[in-house]
Structure 1
């Protein structure tokens, strides 16, 4: 089996679409809209792996900031340690929060952690 997609509720649908397409080379489909339910979504497809569904509907409660039970982060594999460093720097320069500086973890990964527009943790793995 493989994971088909992961979904994120957002109040910033267009901005989140731009974020994942711009920084992670995602390709978006046309927006799906269900006016009866007040629902809108995009699927973002990446070069490999699962797709990301970004969804918006009024009345979805906002989550807690920081670490919580449940899905804790999305991880994107990049081509090298240098790309981890470069993308982390680009995201910081563009105003995004770097929640974890590039480092080698105890289990041997070279990674950094950035936050998207909704505060979701995005791990860059080189």
Structure 2
């Protein structure tokens, strides 16, 4: 069994789509629109085949959490990159483009080299180089 996709709601559908396509090399399908339900979505596919569904719906409220704030439930999405140098360069690129770096690149206690950045909605993203 494998996870088919992960989904998230946003009120900035096009901005979120552009963010993941630009910085994480996602490929987007054509927008799905259901005007009766006030719903729109894209599936973003990454090079490994993992998919992220981004959705916008008129009746969905914005989270009460502050951007980057942690709470129970899903806490982050991690993207694996080839080397620590890629972690550093992507983190620096995102910082230079105005995105929040919530955790500077570092080696974790379990041996991963990672940073934490926030997407335009404040969702936490880890950029991780596997220790193997």
Classify the TM-score, shorter chain: over 0.9
Structure 2 residue matching 1:112: 3-state secondary structure: strand
The aligned residue for residue 55 of structure 2 is 55
Equivalence map 1:88-107=2 (5 Å):
88-107=91-110
Q: Distance in 2 between matches of 1:99 and 1:5?
A: 25
The aligned residue for residue 72 of structure 1 is 75
**Unmatched tracts of structure 1, length 5 or more:** none
Structure 2 residue matching 1:48: 3-state secondary structure: coil
Question: Contact 2:11–2:62 at 8 Å: present in 1 too?
Answer: no
Q: CA deviation at 1:49?
A: 4.3
Select between 37-46 and 60-69 the one with higher mean Cα deviation: 60-69
Question: Contact 2:99–2:118 at 8 Å: present in 1 too?
Answer: yes
1:125 to 121, 124, 128: 128
RMSD: 0.7
Q: Distance in 2 between matches of 1:42 and 1:83?
A: 27
Whether 2:37 is the aligned partner of 1:21: answer: no
Q: TM-score, normalised by structure 2?
A: 0.93
Structure 2 residue matching 1:18: 3-state secondary structure: helix
Q: Distance in 1 between matches of 2:49 and 2:32?
A: 22
Q: Distance in 2 between matches of 1:115 and 1:68?
A: 15
Instruction: Count matched residues.
Output: 126
Structure 2 residue matching 1:111: 3-state secondary structure: strand
Runs (4+) of structure 1 exceeding 4 A deviation are none
